[in-house]
Structure 1
Amino acid sequence: MANESSERSPLDLLWEEYGEVFREFDDLTLARWLAQTLGQLQGRAWRMSHPLVAAYRLAAQEAHRRGVWLKRLATPPSAYLESPCCRAPMLPLLTRDVRDAGLLCQHCNDTMVPFEELPEDIRPDLELWAAQYAPVHAVAHWDDRQRKAVGNYDRALDQAAEEAERLLVRAGSELAPRLLEFYPAVIWEDQDECLDVRPEDVILAPEEE
């Protein structure tokens, strides 16, 4: 057990501590908490970093581990259809990897909606956005040859971070809200750890929050 803990990052251990409260819930209490929180999430596009979303994700992962949704102990709001991946309510996560991974499930972390099955009305815009993001994110993973070729890598990294912020703002202000036409609630990734872009760097206009 000690060896397993030493191999995990401090952040992983912290999130495990955060999730302890949900591990203490019995199945019925956990199912009711999740169903009630889905009602609170409905109708909005949420930042992945939002405290309510973070709490829901911890509870959802514990519920998935126990198979709580399969036990039908509580009824989610009727707007939430059943996910094909794990049969939990559909709560999609939009990330920069949408072209490859589609929309991700907040319960099992698997692909909930493959990219080719996304609504045709928004698929081209998502594809363009992801195509623009890919080379920007790649700057953080350049090898020595690529870094030397650009001359000033630190400046290139800063420029990539600024562009990532702009693209993430678009995800939160335009793309995720458009997905609300098809899903009762949507979560969007509002950070890029590789480029050191934090949620507080991704600022939406007040009317777009």
Structure 2
Amino acid sequence: MKILIVEDEPKAAAYLKRGLEESGFVIDCADNGEDGSHLAQTGSYDLIILDVMLPIRDGWSVLTELRRGGMTTPVLFLTARDAVHDRVKGLELGADDYLVKPFAFSELLARVRTLLRRGPARQATVLAVADLEIDLLRHRATRAGVVLELTPKEFLLLAFLMRRAGDALSRTLIAEQVWDINFESDSNVLDVHLRRLRSKVDDPFEKKLIHTLRGVGYVLEERP
């Protein structure tokens, strides 16, 4: 699942990004309100974590614009402003939750997962293809009831393949979506991760689900 963090303090943004990525989320960041608003309206996010005091435009105006435009993506305000009237204002403007700094990351993660469960349904949180299943919120993957021990990057790669099950996915697209990089043809990063993922998802089982499309890329699908 994909989260946008709008936070102007570099250390705080890096801390949030690292922690949420390690928890299995794909993260984009913006360090001012103008860029945050643009990303929120042009990207596809499951949740937005929004600071209040931001350069160029504050979080209040960003949220107001998003809600007036009809956006229903859950928004979690994360701010040092802890006065009751600030929290009330945030909720009245359309925020789904309000967490005051400093905070424990475990609490932030719990609130993120709660918002994703109860928020407007945009995407399923449990994906299944044949006997392969992943729970995006619990960061858990199983095949035929057997828990798969995946690294965070392997989990993200598998989640992307399963979201697009049946689609022919180019190496460039996978690299951009999972690694957030421009793919270089001489890079073997993708091949190495696919090999490792297949060793866990496919090798122990008779039916293979991840297939190579020569000259194109990869596809995850159940075949006869």
TM-score (norm 2): 0.27
Query: Comparing both structures, which one devotes a greater share of its residues to strand?
Result: 2
Query: Comparing both structures, which one devotes a greater share of its residues to helix?
Result: 1
Larger RCO: 1 or 2 (CA < 8 Å, sep 6+): 1
